[in-house]
Amino acid sequence: MGNINTFFKLTFLFLFSGLTATAQVTPGREEPKSLEHTFYVAGNLGNDLTVEGQKVLKAIVAASKKDEEATLLVPGNFLPPRGFPKNEAEREAQKQFLQKNLLNAVQEFNGTVVFTPGQNEWTKQGQNAIDDLESFLQDNQSNTEVWPDDGCPIESEEISPDVILVTVDTQWYLENWDEHPNMNAKCDIKTRERFFAEFKDDIKDAHGKTIVVSMQHPVMSNSKRSFTEKIGGFSPQDYQNEEHRYLRGRLETLASQFDNVIFVSGKDHNLQYLEDDGIPQIISGSIGKPKKLSIRKENEHFGTTKSGYVKLKLYKNNQTLVEFFTIENTENPIFSKTIKSDEPNWDEIDFKTKEEIGDTISASIYTEEQTDKSGLYKSLFGDFYRDVYSTKIKAPVLFLDTLDGNLEPLKEGGGMQSRSLRFIADDKNEFTIRALKKSATRFLQSAAIKDHYIKDYIENTVAQRYALDLFTTAHPYARYSLKHINDLLEINAGKPQIFYIPKQKALGLNNDEYGNELYMLEAHVGDENKEFEKFGAPEDIISTRDLLAELKESKNIKADEDKFIKNRLVDMLIGDWDRHYDQWRWGLHTQNDGTKLYKPIPRDRDFAFPNYDGFIPDLVKLGLPIVRKMETYDDNVNNVKWFNLSGYPLDQRLLKNSDWEDWQEQVSFIQSQLTNEEIETAFKALPEAVQDKTIEDIKAHLKARRDNLGDIAQRYYNYLQEFQVLPGTEEDDVFNIVRKENGTTAIQMINEDGKEVFSNSYNSEATDEIWIYGLDGDDTFKATGDGENPIRINVIGGEENDIYDFENTRKIKLYDHKSKENTITNPKSKKWLVDDYEINTYDPDKRKQSENKIMPHIDYNGDEGLSLGLKDTYTTYGLTNNPFNTQHSFDASYYFATNGFEVGYRGEFAHVFYNWNLGIDARYTSPNFALNYFGEGMESENMRDTFGRDYNRVRIEQWEFAPSLIWRGKSGGSFYVKPMIQSKEVSFDEERFIAEAFSEENDLFNQQLYAGGELNYHYENRDNPAYPSRGFEADITTGYKTNIDEYNNEFAYISPSLAIDYPLHESGIAVLATKIGGKIIIGDNYEYYDGAVLGGNKNLRAYRWERFNGKQSFYHSTDLRVGVSRFKTNFIPLQIGVSAGFDYGRVWAESSNSEQWKNNYGGSIWISGFSAFTANTGYYYGDDGGRFTFTFGFKF
């Protein structure tokens, strides 16, 4: 993502321009007044704490004496490379070293020293070592902090009212979590994806302030890297490692969506200032062996390999002065830069007064032009509620300064689609305005392209317009009927009002993005508004994540299941499928017995009464299961599984004690209260202009769905019962599992005080599988009873020393860490003890589920002609995924040029051995399926111009069955071992070349059976699959085949290849791509169809597929690819480029003594969209003439 902006600027540049230690000073350097805070940054201190590190720290401490408010940021590697040793003697020596050279050195720093763990701090002891180090530092130096603490990934601290410090432990992300059994034991964040969500929330919560993000690894860098670092990415520390690259891309993309975010890092051994997409990156890690730089002057970047530090002065007007100092000159900065936040030009904003606008105004969400679609478009995509969005309604005009409380902007809100601002009043109550027009850019950024910032390239494109059109599937006003329905059903929820809010001074800096449109105003659902009756006047209001955390900590915490069931039934009643965690808040109501009962408060029911009435949406659902939850609102819920996809994880977690009678009771209550008359009353709250036939249809469906609610509830209740997840607490829990008669299993949970906190019974007719998580504490799991037909139970112990006492071992299996101590009383217990983080860690989002995808495909090439196909993939997920539990793929293709067809099956089953999957491959081609044969050697002739393409086509019927063991690494490597059995039968065609090459009596034309085996290792790492500018691919396959019938073919083979994508310019604008490969057959007894062949789109591209056939082959293909331009089209953002290619190679055959080599040259024009796909059409010329190619992507 860091190349998007610079790529455009460098379109016609092909030469490096370097800068290493050159001093630069920004012209017109200005130093604003009202200094808020000063940060010093120095990373990599541990590389040389005794000499250079001491000089840097001495200079920083001296400079800090002049500061009133200062913080020293040490982003990683403040320990020597060996870290904090486990050995007691070595650790004591390390402590003394650190006390002398680190703590004593910062003792006089005039402020707080913040250490952020990095690579050196993460040893084999993982978070335990971080904890011990944290205790040592804070016990021996009062002005030090370790942030984030406890080895967790992120911490946000308010340094001053206008400055927020976010510390990120990037090494936490890059660590192999399987190596640390207690990973994240003290952290609320348990997954990498949750970390990204927390990072975004922290940045969003600091809206309007200056945010400094301190972390070891930078999101961008101009450091020169070795050949293997640049393309290989073998180590997680490599800048181009796949996981490392994704981390950088996600963080920068998230930060780019907000203002005033500054990254400071310390990984690289130099000093740098960079900027991309408005995001500054400061690197201060110059201690140790210098890392050379490659600076592009046109970007106004800076870098030096001299030792020093960076100073940031943050001012109250959101300006930051960045200064770089070296240890040779600590008085005068060698480079400085003023970072200014963009502010709206107040003179360009047309502020209207209330007198000019009036008390009310007619306004619409979209213009008529935006909703005007052709008949064809509507027939394909549907009518949605498009007309409603361009219908003008009469709305009251709101000037925020006329409201009670003196509202002031607090921060920007909104999720994946919505745009909102939160305001705070004098009494600390908070209110939110939310635009009725949603953000297509946010939607595409969050849902589709997470690691590349797209805002500047997506505006006014078809992609953006379609996303905006997709939002019209939700009725924008029908949700306001819920105000009356919520009151009727005794649901605590907000009461939004519609206003037209013009641009105004009260919006402050937000006038560039907000104002002059329709908004919804409502009280924010948070603890600052806990006294509001509409929320039930609770003692506190918390998020769903906080509720789940409290439920783990103590069983004195409960969610109000009855009220939650009622709310979830209302979701199904109104067709709102988007009910994820953040759509709920929870109000605390302490009961008389001291139990903390949390009652649900629903938020943002934006997708009530949706309409997906087009052909295309239904077609998309076949290939994308995740969108199947988007059901058109009608009389019933068609599929409760997919409709409740977003809400299911929370339902599973909270609805543990309820039975069908509890659901039935809520159904009866809703049906009795929500009469036809009340429904009519509810919809009178909608604007008069949209009270049309659409609303009448919605009301009719609502009445019918109310009547069907019992059936809907029963189906969903049954679905919930099929699979159960029962988490324990952080305390010492006892789980009693009793197998009873008739397939019943009773499960009881007792806390460390001996009090029963959970008890329920499950029947095998309703429940297929149960997962029980012990979580933290020394837990005990007892399984007794000998009832028949027991439910399958997986017991996951979690942390600490757990006791597994299984008297009955039928259909119960325990999972725990291999490296931990556990007590297993019955040696016959089924167990799987592996150090696997994902298996052994409780994740409330994890579920047992299945999905089926159907995808058509179309292809064309000169030899096979047009082909059409269909692929059906069925995937299951469970406890032990790798990356799934099972997967079954069926595909079929028809080739029009030969009238042949091909069908195949591929199955894969996870963890038959730990980290090894079982694969099953089966394939059949019809007798008309064709391969090419031109003869052996390099002097075979292509008679296409004389006899046509069919002359060299050989019809072959074949089938194959091959099981395999498959291993996949986390950094791009994979390996398989595959035994196989094959059948091949070639057809004799008198009018084709095959009859000239072989007599009809040749064994080739008889069915031949083969058995054999194959080994393969593959490694691949590319920075962008659409247009790789840095990449490395290595592959080697070796195998053996022999006849198992009366024929005597027997041979072995080895086929290696190596491909490299190397940037000729750091921007990636010009790339040299090259691939070398071949095949060697060992043995003389083989048929032509197993020969070493060349030709086609992957090598010797001017020649037909299988053009040359021999016993050995070699090829070398090279492309020079240049991105000519990146531009925004009316459709989507595109990058267009050209390539010049040259291939050469040959085969060796025993029947030919030719020393001839073949080559070809040519080029292609390619177009890449969204950095996600590439269409590549080329023309290549060789001795056989020219050949056109068309491929998606690049073949090397």
Quick one: 799 and 948 in the same domain? no
Nearest to 1102 by CA among 1056, 1143, 1145, 1134: 1143
* Domain of 1049, in residue numbers: 927-1192
Kindly report which listed range (45-49, 402-406, 862-866, 1074-1078) carries the lowest average pLDDT score. Answer: 862-866
Per residue in 372-399, pLDDT (tens digit) is: 999 998 889 999 999 999 999 999 999 9
Which pLDDT score is estimated for 847?
Answer: 92
pLDDT band at residue 1128 under the 50/70/90 scheme: low
Average pLDDT over residues 129-134: 89
Residue carrying the six token digits 């210098």: 290
Quick one: 705 and 777 in the same domain? no
Which pLDDT score is estimated for 213?
Answer: 98
Taking the C-alpha atoms of residue 756 and residue 747, their distance in angstroms, rounded to an integer, is: 11
Average pLDDT over residues 652-658: 94
Quick one: 391 and 534 in the same domain? yes
pLDDT band at residue 17 under the 50/70/90 scheme: very low
Taking the C-alpha atoms of residue 1178 and residue 314, their distance in angstroms, rounded to an integer, is: 54
Kindly report which listed range (14-18, 545-549, 966-970) carries the lowest average pLDDT score. Answer: 14-18
Which pLDDT score is estimated for 596?
Answer: 95
Taking the C-alpha atoms of residue 869 and residue 860, their distance in angstroms, rounded to an integer, is: 12
Q: What is the CA radius of gyration of the chain?
A: 33
Which pLDDT score is estimated for 962?
Answer: 98
Q: Count of H helices and E strands in the chain?
A: 29, 55
H helix or E strand, kind and range, residue 376: helix 375-381
The answer to whether position 891 is within a domain reads no
User: Which residue would you say has higher pLDDT here, 21 or 397?
Assistant: 397
pLDDT band at residue 207 under the 50/70/90 scheme: confident
State both tokens at 506: 């009260």
Say if residues 1172 and 1147 touch (Cβ distance below 8 Å): no
Which pLDDT score is estimated for 1102?
Answer: 96
Q: Coil, helix or strand for 871?
A: strand
State both tokens at 892: 């079929």
Taking the C-alpha atoms of residue 21 and residue 718, their distance in angstroms, rounded to an integer, is: 69
Beta-carbon neighbour count of residue 689 at 10 Å?
Answer: 14
The answer to whether position 329 is within a domain reads yes
Beta strands in 807-847 (DSSP E): 812-816, 823-824, 830-833
Instruction: Dump the DSSP string for 594-642.
Output: S-EEEEEEE---TTSS----SHHHHHHHHH-GGGGG-PPPSSS-S-HHH
Which pLDDT score is estimated for 1129?
Answer: 61
H helix or E strand, kind and range, residue 6: helix 4-9
ω into 883 cis (within 30 of 0): yes
Which string of b and e fits 161-173 if b means at least 16 CB within 10 Å? ebbbbbbbbbbbb
Is the model's pTM score more than 0.85? Answer: yes
Q: Which of 796, 812, 831 is the last residue of a domain?
A: 831
Which pLDDT score is estimated for 1?
Answer: 38
The answer to whether position 861 is within a domain reads no
- pLDDT above 90 covers what percent of the chain? 73
Taking the C-alpha atoms of residue 1106 and residue 1052, their distance in angstroms, rounded to an integer, is: 20
Quick one: 941 and 812 in the same domain? no
Which pLDDT score is estimated for 227?
Answer: 84
Q: What are 73's strand-pairing partners?
A: 41, 114
pLDDT band at residue 1025 under the 50/70/90 scheme: confident
Q: Coil, helix or strand for 365?
A: coil
Nearest to 923 by CA among 890, 886, 964: 890
Tell me 73's DSSP state: E
Quick one: 322 and 434 in the same domain? no
Q: What are 982's strand-pairing partners?
A: 960, 1010
Look at residue 126 and tell me whether its pLDDT is greater than 90: no
Looking at residue 92, which CATH number applies to its domain?
3.60.21.10
Taking the C-alpha atoms of residue 669 and residue 682, their distance in angstroms, rounded to an integer, is: 17
Look at residue 897 and tell me whether its pLDDT is greater than 90: no
Say if residues 314 and 240 touch (Cβ distance below 8 Å): no
Say if residues 758 and 738 touch (Cβ distance below 8 Å): no
Look at residue 532 and tell me whether its pLDDT is greater than 70: yes
Say if residues 438 and 471 touch (Cβ distance below 8 Å): yes
Say if residues 334 and 326 touch (Cβ distance below 8 Å): yes
Per residue in 779-805, pLDDT (tens digit) is: 999 999 999 999 999 999 988 899 999
Which pLDDT score is estimated for 672?
Answer: 97
Instruction: Specify burial of residue 594 (Cβ count, 10 A radius: 0-12, 13-18, 19+).
Output: exposed
Which pLDDT score is estimated for 15?
Answer: 25
Q: Average per-residue pLDDT in the chain?
A: 91
Beta-carbon neighbour count of residue 318 at 10 Å?
Answer: 21
Q: What are 501's strand-pairing partners?
A: 517
Average pLDDT over residues 437-453: 75
Average pLDDT over residues 888-904: 94
Which pLDDT score is estimated for 952?
Answer: 95
Quick one: 678 and 736 in the same domain? no
The answer to whether position 813 is within a domain reads yes
The answer to whether position 15 is within a domain reads no
Quick one: 658 and 757 in the same domain? no
pLDDT band at residue 10 under the 50/70/90 scheme: very low
Q: What are 280's strand-pairing partners?
A: 275
Per residue in 972-993, pLDDT (tens digit) is: 899 999 999 999 999 999 999 9
pLDDT band at residue 299 under the 50/70/90 scheme: low
Look at residue 9 and tell me whether its pLDDT is greater than 50: no
Instruction: Dump the DSSP string for 884-925.
Output: -SEEEEEEEEEETTTTEEEEEEEEEEEEEETTEEEEEEEEEE
Q: Which of 804, 831, 858 is the last residue of a domain?
A: 831
433-to-359, 391, 399, 484, 585 alpha-carbon distances in Å: 18, 21, 12, 21, 18
**Cα atoms in the Cβ-side hemisphere of radius 13 Å centred on 722:** 12
Look at residue 88 and tell me whether its pLDDT is greater than 90: no
Quick one: 714 and 753 in the same domain? no
Look at residue 671 and tell me whether its pLDDT is greater than 60: yes
Kindly report which listed range (414-428, 524-538, 621-635) carries the lowest average pLDDT score. Answer: 414-428
- pLDDT above 70 covers what percent of the chain? 95
The answer to whether position 345 is within a domain reads no
pLDDT band at residue 623 under the 50/70/90 scheme: confident
Nearest to 248 by CA among 268, 442, 240: 240
Per residue in 502-521, pLDDT (tens digit) is: 999 899 888 888 999 999 99
Look at residue 1031 and tell me whether its pLDDT is greater than 60: yes
Q: Coil, helix or strand for 107?
A: coil
Nearest to 149 by CA among 97, 189, 179: 189
The answer to whether position 551 is within a domain reads yes
Quick one: 420 and 474 in the same domain? yes
Look at residue 1002 and tell me whether its pLDDT is greater than 60: yes
Taking the C-alpha atoms of residue 1107 and residue 1145, their distance in angstroms, rounded to an integer, is: 12
State both tokens at 805: 């006492």
Beta-carbon neighbour count of residue 990 at 10 Å?
Answer: 8
Taking the C-alpha atoms of residue 269 and residue 262, their distance in angstroms, rounded to an integer, is: 19
Look at residue 12 and tell me whether its pLDDT is greater than 50: no
In angstroms, the first-to-last Cα distance of the chain is: 22
Cα torsion at 569, 572, 573, 574 (round to 10°)?
A: 130
Say if residues 9 and 299 touch (Cβ distance below 8 Å): yes
Quick one: 138 and 67 in the same domain? yes
Q: Which of 831, 847, 867 is the last residue of a domain?
A: 831
Average pLDDT over residues 411-418: 78
Q: Coil, helix or strand for 310?
A: strand
Average pLDDT over residues 52-67: 94
Nearest to 857 by CA among 832, 892, 806, 896: 892
Taking the C-alpha atoms of residue 133 and residue 467, their distance in angstroms, rounded to an integer, is: 49
Look at residue 2 and tell me whether its pLDDT is greater than 60: no
Quick one: 826 and 933 in the same domain? no
pLDDT band at residue 16 under the 50/70/90 scheme: very low
H helix or E strand, kind and range, residue 1169: strand 1158-1169
**Cα atoms in the Cβ-side hemisphere of radius 13 Å centred on 508:** 13
Q: At what angle do helices 693-707 and 660-673 cross, to 10 degrees?
A: 140
Instruction: Specify burial of residue 1073 (Cβ count, 10 A radius: 0-12, 13-18, 19+).
Output: buried
pLDDT band at residue 858 under the 50/70/90 scheme: confident
Looking at residue 1037, which CATH number applies to its domain?
2.40.160.50
| Domain total of the chain | 4
Taking the C-alpha atoms of residue 383 and residue 825, their distance in angstroms, rounded to an integer, is: 64
Instruction: Report the relative pairing of strands 210-215 and 163-168 from DSSP bridges.
Output: parallel
pLDDT band at residue 1072 under the 50/70/90 scheme: very high
Which pLDDT score is estimated for 454?
Answer: 67
The answer to whether position 855 is within a domain reads no
pLDDT band at residue 20 under the 50/70/90 scheme: very low
Residues 6+ apart with CB under 8 A from 377: none
Quick one: 546 and 420 in the same domain? yes
Taking the C-alpha atoms of residue 910 and residue 1030, their distance in angstroms, rounded to an integer, is: 32
ω into 236 cis (within 30 of 0): no
